[in-house]
Chain A
Amino acid sequence: MAVSLSKGGNVSLSKEAPGLSAITIGLGWDPRATDGQAFDLDGSVFLLNASGKVRSDSDFIFYNNKASSDGSVIHNGDNTTGAGEGDDETVEIDLSKVPADVDKIAVCVTIHEAETRSQNFGQVSKAYIRVLNKAGGAEIARYDLSEDASTDTAMIFGEIYRHGSDWKFKAVGQGYAGGLGPMAKNYGVNV
């Protein structure tokens, strides 16, 4: 039931998948077939308060900080080449465990050292990011990075935000100038 969301479109997670309590963010790409430096895509998550900032640096969950302090977000590990079947990196978010003072969860994807390696999403084959219902694995939204973000090196894929007692997912799909560092800084992380 993959809902194809256009930029800015949103979907109620609770309505889309009744009983949904946990989601998985999947990031996938093909390993580089040509000669040159590997493509290393990184998925990251920011837990944000009402003013759109992290409450502390530990709200920035990425390859070097694989779990939020409350256990609501678990990053299942860094894949540095894209080798392997299916999603190459996954991040699990247990919405029922997300603390009340977290208003919004931003899901981002960046290319590791994109600038020094002169890489962008368009050079990578079959790069995508998607949201799944953790139970059952049904796809809720997907973004094709290779085709639709070809000249970008970093992107805010989507935001999961509270709407009353529901959670909604908004497809942002917006490229971001600068890498993971500047992005984290923008969300209030000390980098």
Chain B
Amino acid sequence: MQAGERKTLADLGLSERLEVRVECDLHGTDFSAFGLQGGKLADDRYMVFYNQPRSPEGAITLRPPGEFTFELQALPPAVDEVYLTATHDESPLSNAGRLNVSFGAHTFDVKPHLKAEKAVMLLRLYRHSGGWRLAAVAQGFNGGLAALVGHFGGEVAETANEPLPAASAPPVTSPVNLRKERQRVILEKAEREQPGLVSLIKTASISLEKRGLSEAQYRVKLILDISASMQREYQNGAVQKLAERALALAARLDDDGEVEVYLFGVKAHRKGALSLGNVSGFVNRMGVELEGGTHYNPVMTMLREDVRREGFDIPTLVLFITDGGTSNRDAVVRQMIEASREPIFWKFMGIDQAAGKGGFLGGLMQRAAADSFGFLEKLDDLQGRMVDNADFFSVPASIDLPDNQLFDSLVNELDSWQRDARRAGILR
């Protein structure tokens, strides 16, 4: 059977008396059956596990470690579904070499569906249209048995005699778990210190989810153009708004939730880390002195040095904000080709100063913009790279597109780069 599949017992060639065998080679894995009423564990005698291997009337029995016998016709009518589960106190079940469930002539291989779950629902037997059905589930909770029991109604967790792994449990070793925890801490911190950012963080996480990147981890770095033509964007707060959005993205992607900020005009400058603690007024405090030129090359070199020093174990997402084309284009092209071997994805956002401008001057500006952005588009499609490590999009100078569109654009292609980079061995 495949995950998600739902069938009547008759379609599976099974009767209401059925045997299910769970096999798992991860030491310390426990198997249990939960008989629920209206989705809740209303009666804890219907939690069948090694300490209570039999429901009161014997409709569910367990022969440890993992052989269950069901006499579904003997279950009280109020019990309308039974979940068969696997849990582990310490380790994600994905550490098992195999976890499969067999019944009748069928086998359900659960292992390929596991990520960081320490508790997983394997099968669901449930009443539907006057009969019993079976669903292959393979979904669960990183929080283990406590989270699973919470899902089944929660009250039991308070009253059960069986101690649940709680604060006393040893620290989890899975990086994904720690990361979830870290994200939660960052969100709570935002709720306390920057409530205005909370909805931005949530919007950012939706864009990431859409790309299948909800569990992705990146260092986020922001590169800001300080060429003279950017003056208005610094004065009217547009750059500050962009910085806040970069931070919201980092709250989901970045382990420390901070964004390293770089400035470039003619020269390149490191401006430290943007964080929840210092985001208010960050751009004003930088004391930007605009420069009379646009050179991508020095800041790219500086950033690549920093990334190399920090290590290639975690990929880097660079948000490169510019309103014009660079000098020394050949050097930039070489950089991009070289950098395609590094776990860095370059997202170029072009601020189109000419958009919507008419007249002779507007025409000139539009021609200049077409040239600059043509170069950025060329970077996007540049040949000779190991993988496509860049994406370009442009926005009109007011930068007032809706946040969900901005986040969608900022993470566009990140998923395909991640896949290609992993395949090419650039990313672990």
Residues of A within 8 A of B (CB): 32-38, 40, 80-81, 112-113, 116-123, 146-147, 150-151
Interchain CB contact under 8 A, A150 and B135: yes
Per DSSP, chain B at the interface is mixed
Q: Which residues of A contact B4 (CB under 8 A)?
A: 119-123, 150-151
What CA separation (Å) do A147 and B4 show in the bound complex?
10
Task: Report Cα–Cα, A34/B144, bound state, in Å.
Answer: 11
A150 engages B5 (CB within 8 Å): yes
The B27-62 residues at the A interface (CB cut-off 8 A) are none
Indicate if the CB atoms of A113 and B212 lie closer than 8 Å: yes
B residues contacting A by CB (< 8 A) are 2-7, 113, 115-117, 121, 128, 133, 135-137, 139-143, 151, 206, 209-210, 212, 214, 415
List chain B residues, Cβ under 8 A from A37: 209, 212, 214
Q: Which residues of B contact A32 (CB under 8 A)?
A: 139
State the CA gap A150–B113 with chains docked (Å): 16
B136 to A, closest residue via Cβ: A122
**Docked-complex contact B3 and A123, CB < 8 angstroms:** yes
Cβ-defined partner of A118 (8 Å) among B3, B121, B151, B214? B3
Of A35, A40, A80, A113, most B-chain CB atoms within 10 Å: A35
- Extra A-B contacts (7), CB below 8 Å, given A35-B140, A117-B212: A35-B142, A36-B115, A113-B210, A119-B4, A120-B2, A120-B5, A147-B133
Q: Are B6 and A35 in contact (CB under 8 A)?
A: no
Could you tell me the distance between the alpha carbons of A37 and B115 in the complex, rounded to whole angstroms? Answer: 11
**Alpha-carbon distance A152/B210, docked complex (angstroms):** 20
Q: Report Cα–Cα, A17/B281, bound state, in Å.
A: 60
Please name all residues of chain B whose beta carbon is closer than 8 Å to the beta carbon of A118 when the two chains form the complex.
Answer: 3, 113
* Cβ-defined partner of B6 (8 Å) among A34, A116, A146: A146
Beta-carbon contact of B209 and A80 below 8 Å: yes
Chain B contacts of A38 at CB under 8 A?
209, 214
> A81 to chain B: which residues have CB within 8 Å?
206, 209
Q: Are B210 and A35 in contact (CB under 8 A)?
A: no
Are B5 and A80 closer than 8 Å at their CB atoms? Answer: no
Chain A nearest CB, measured from B10 CB (Å): 15
